[in-house]
Structure 1
């Protein structure tokens, strides 16, 4: 696919930005469907220590991993040496030939690599200042800024930097934020281990066209010693500055890991956001309470929530510095007086205290982490929980470890949580939904209930090797509901309400979706007979494709056009 433009002045007329975006969107949609299964099928998955641009991964995974690793080292009377790298102009210096080479190594063949190669080469850019444009310049390297393909291509290229890290050193990579760290009792041995790893990483970076900024690269020595020596590390022949704290993925880590620096940094950011609330919440022309609460949750509470699972392990007197921010934001949003009791603010705004909020977020994260064993920090958190070390050293604990005690006191076992294996099948393994509408051939007015039951049992016998599921949706006045029933597992059956005013068609489809979701997450079955009472047209579902479930999941729908003969829906 190509486009030849003789008159460069008419470039914006002949090739609008929207066309380029639509072409890229088509390629990205095709690549996202094919890439995961194709890469894994050849035994070349993306490295597990990388979280950027990956589903179910976030910056919090790396933060929890680093904090838990360091706390465990402190509990064993060890120290941790960490180096936080800064890639200089990461997107602009990405090696284009290296991208093509990595695509080949990942067994990409055919037209897709050719399209990407043509997409990257022969690119020019101009600089605009007011109404004046500079001369066009040729972009020799790098991926285009602002393109929807650029993050995927950069992600593919930076992926192999983890492979240059030694096996005794841990690494965390999120897009271009890269860090390595290791533990040890003796600083000299730790220095040598980290220095050898730095040399390997620097060699890989030089060979692949990237460049580290030595001035922005920081080394932090995590320890609990009163008398200590500073480490001496070098990057590309220049000494790496050793500092008492460093910001990694938005959280400030200090050498003692007490997070007092991060709390001060966070408080300063939130105070600036509160100024906007004061302006918008003017008593004469300001926004109403609901709008101000939304602004508070968006601008202030979101900052307090981010990383709270990490810095929530700080001392109570350190965390109390954030409580006035929370209370002040609620007072502005509610228009409350300064003398209003704090508990009244919580009740009026429907907001918990920051302590309970942090604990709730920690519970949610632990439950999510338990269901996703492939997340990088899963092994660090669950295989050797920090709570085991904290039993010996009470001071070395964190918010994630404390959740285990709460689950234990509530007699809740985390072992009942199933692993979530959600992998979209590639297009060549997608299955169309088989729809059986033999019951529709019967004349409802002239067919008895017994005849319907006999026909249904015939269909059930035909698909006897399938797992039976029954769904239904109903409407009463303006209220809608959907349900799913599993005869072999009644405890997994579920009913749900829809929003008021929804159609019967939506309720019936919600029942089918609810049953499919249960099959995907809880039941290990490959063939399913899904029976439903519906008034919608069968071809609507027969044209759909199973793209969000496992590759072997087959759903066969038996469309029943009468509710008098369906003894199954009463169970729903």
Structure 2
């Protein structure tokens, strides 16, 4: 209730009023702390750091840092936006250097937060540079999700593999192309493979697994659009990626690119369909694509490099880094609660 009714109002405009004096911003902390005490039933003498940790709710200062960096990462993807030059231009740098008592310019606040977290904003894809086909010119692709209702925990892998082979047998006249993605501590990778060829791509570290799966599908479409074969079936083990293909008005840059590639396939009279398959059950094409994606994530020498990130993917990474920073401060605290709850993440709900 606090997040829905109160915090949203405190968040509104925070990237602007965050330039206010610290003494002024502390007045908002009173509202934040009072709400947490009511929600937790805590005493008035309970330490603020303990309230934040027990509720899994960061301080308003950390919250404003996250919102500031999120806004900066979004604007960085739109260099033609009139706001971009005001956010990133250093017009007031000399003025601030001579008058330290004035409020920090926005770009200076962004740089200081990034320095505190030891981060740099990556180069992002400009969505306006991607040609978006009109939605009425392209058909919604055919997606086959016959096996999606079967849970791997309730069915033997051999049974799932048998059902998949029976499904794929219906497309004997189609050429299969398998896609996959991998996300690990070593990096992020995507790949596709056919009977004749394969390709793997190393992606920026901020890339989410959902985006990586979409990139694999997009690169597969680019590949098949260069081939004379007209019947293709793209097999992926990412249910969310395949389901997202049905969006009429996508905002994700990779989805927009997929729509553009599908329009090219449509003009060539190619029949492209998408099939979901369970992962790690011994399907040869899926296992090969998975291996290639893991090789790409680890930086294999024969891997194509994709350097630009998608600004939607930066937000989870920012939240993760701010949470780690919060955890480091909690590790050095002398709170008695630390012995009971050593992590700042919310309590796990026991079913």
TM-score, normalised to structure 1, is 0.32
TM-score, normalised to structure 2, is 0.50
Relative to total residues, which structure has the larger helix share, 1 or 2?
A: 2
Q: Which has the larger radius of gyration?
A: 1
